[in-house]
Chain A
Amino acid sequence: MWSNLATLTRYRGLIQSLVVRDLKARYRGSVLGFFWSFVNPLLLLSIYTFVFSYILVNDEKRTQPYSVFMFCGLLPWTWFSASLTEACGSLISGGNLIKKVLFPAEVLPIVAVLSNMVHFCLGLLILAGFMVGTGHYPNPVNLPWFPLVVLIQLIFTTAIALILSSLTVHFRDIRDLVSNLLTFWFFATPIIYFYKAENVQKLKWLFNINPFFHLSVSYQEILFFQPENPGDTFVHGHLMWLLVMGAASCLLFLLGYWLFDRLRDSFAEVV
């Protein structure tokens, strides 16, 4: 396992070109092309904004402007959920490679995660646009922590992607299971609602065991909220939880890679 993990770095070039291919191929032949990367989250955002600003009116003062608040949680979630959905099927759709070419199978789920990460980064540009539009800027003191959150999410997502993709080869219905579970998970995470709301705080222990809760809250604290007391930074907010989550993600990654490595030999036969 360790030697395999070490060779993973040798596949940088391969992963890189596959991600580029993925992005190119996805929009090849469509009129708007790469622009869809922007349009998709934008449309989603306007629907949510419409619903929660005009129909189910959100009168929580602290989450205004609501569109920026929601976007801070929605972007990482889209990255997470799209990665997992794609990773689940990645080994099966890449079966030809696994069966016919000497090909490091773990590259496939990793590429799924990374190409969605590129979309996430593009989405950040839209978020920046919204911030400019609404005049609501993040506290610059917190911004240096942003890459850490992204890194932890990357490790966490990759770990789950490895586990799910290798199991899906044997149990095809994981794919459907995951897409349903993700919907449930979305609403179980404070993305469209405020985690400091009274009802959420009552069930704090339940939210604390939701790993994505710590990610989405970290994003919101860094990108959206202003410190309640001047001088307060993210360090006093959710950092501890985030670090625990980071350590757990690393362990989960090792576990996921171990599982993937154990099942590796069966891929060429079962896919």
Chain B
Amino acid sequence: MTPSIELDHVTKIYRRYGGRHFATLKSALLQRSMLRDLQPQETFTALNDVSCTVAPGQTLGVIGRNGSGKSTSLKLVAGITKPTSGTVRVRGRISALIELGAGFHPEISGRENVFINGIMLGLSRREIQQRFDEIVEFAELKDFIDAPVKTYSSGMYMRLGFAVAIHVDPDVLLVDEVLAVGDEGFTHKCLDKFGEFKRRNKTILLVTHSLGLVERFCDEALWLDHGEKRAQGDPKRVIGAYMTDVERQEEQQLAAIDAKAQHESAEPASQPFAGPSDASAIQGDMMQATEGRWGSGGAHISDVLLLGEHEQSTHVFHTGEPVTIAFTVSTVKPLSDFAFGIGIFNAEGVCVYGTNTDIEEFEPDTLSGQSTVRMHIEALDLVEGTYKLDVAIHRRDGAPYDYHRLLYTFRVKSRLKDVGIYRPKHSWTFSPSIKFRLKP
């Protein structure tokens, strides 16, 4: 079967005219550099040797980070830009939902705009006449269709644009991140319409950041990364690979932040640290989410690590995974009054959990030289989000020797988008009269 969309070793290089953003004819003429200026000084490869095919009736989801070339690929398929090398072949009428209502004129009525927009998208006047009622009904704009478009809210504007574009009856539908328009109900209607397209064996190319949509809706997924094709195939598999890569990247970023904190805490604690030193001041400070480090310097914390299941240092965890917080303590003089504490805060600065060895009734005896402390958390039952960690050694009355405030960051990932802070282990039971359908 001949593919509906075919990209064959497509490369797209955007030219950046270095330092010539606002071209002036005068300077070009004066410097006699017109020809040279028209040569690209800098190039940006938006797509690099990407090949892929989409069979008729298939839905392909294109995923990737910002700037990975998703929208460029869509524009190439739409024919808005031409590839620098390689070929793009598309069979059948294309409708591109890239920018909805791009051709609307604000001064004239919705009705007239529907006609002009439809003609722009390749319909004839009669075809629009036939579909007009359907379009207006779909856009839910019956009462406003004769008002000038400038009086529309942005949601109305988008809905009308969407309605026209979808009623072009294309063979190939290109969708770029436009489902964010309208309310829940409208989004459902759009998805239903896409479903109808699929049943009628139309080809859809969907660019989106909503991985759930790709998983639910697409037959295939294409993952682009920095303009290169990383994977194409079964959506679940491709999304999995993409998620792993995103996590790896996040891990690197957090590690970089952490490395800075580690570097700071590695400095010798010969002088007392600046900052509040009595217990009440610390108490007050707990409420403020300012990061930093302070203490009298009697003991010194370093090498704070978050360890995953296999003792590897990591910054990204999945909900429910075991975690070990490990750090090294060194003292100049032996201490007999000490307690170790940790605190976990979420991104809003809410204390998720805090404890110390004094609260947990460990009686301090002696601490000297260099030693390691490990706190093991059996299951990190937190919802998805970014969390910050406090680590401290202090006297039992709270006066700190060394207090690391919000210096360490980790991220918890979850497949489920549950809300709150804490995710208690739980299960559901239902009486047999309640039935759920399995998600495909």
Contacts and interface: CB of A to CB of B under 8 A. Distances in A.
B121 interface: yes
A269 B26 CA distance: 22
B23 A29 contact: no
B78 interface: yes
B148 A174 contact: no
B98 A25 contact: no
A108 to B, nearest CB: 11
A171 B24 contact: yes
A265 B76 CA distance: 12
A103 B80 CA distance: 8
A21 B116 contact: yes
Interface in B25-56: 25-26, 28, 38
Which range contains the number of A residues in contact with the other chain?
20 to 34
13 contacts: A13-B119, A13-B124, A14-B120, A17-B116, A24-B108, A29-B107, A96-B103, A97-B103, A101-B80, A101-B121, A172-B22, A174-B25, A268-B75
A101 B120 contact: yes
Interface string A98-109: 111111000000
Given A18-B116, A97-B102, 8 more contacts: A14-B119, A28-B108, A96-B103, A98-B80, A100-B99, A102-B78, A171-B23, A268-B81
Please indicate which of the listed interface residues B14, B78, B107 has the most CB atoms of chain A within 10 Å of its own CB: B107
Interface of B: 14-15, 22-26, 28, 38, 75, 78-82, 94, 96, 98-99, 102-103, 105, 107-108, 112, 115-116, 119-121, 124-125, 148
Interface in A192-209: none
B379 to A, nearest CB: 49
Nearest to A170: B23
Interface in A93-126: 96-103
Contacts of A25: 105, 107-108
Given A28-B108, A101-B80, A103-B120, A17 B115 contact: yes
Given A13-B125, A172-B24, A28 B102 contact: no
Contacts, number: 75
Nearest to A24: B108
Contacts of A97: 102-103, 120
Contacts of A170: 23, 38
Nearest to A95: B102
Contacts of B119: 13-14, 17
Contacts of B94: 102
Contacts of B120: 14, 97, 101, 103
A32 interface: no
Nearest to B95: A102
A201 B96 CA distance: 59
Interface string A8-29: 0000011001100100110011
A97 B124 CA distance: 19
A24 B112 contact: yes
A269 B14 contact: yes
Contacts of B79: 102
Q: Which 10 A-B pairs have the closest CB atoms?
A: A100-B99, A171-B25, A25-B107, A100-B102, A28-B107, A100-B98, A265-B82, A268-B81, A101-B102, A17-B116
Contacts of A28: 107-108, 148
Contact of A101 (B81, B96, B125): B96
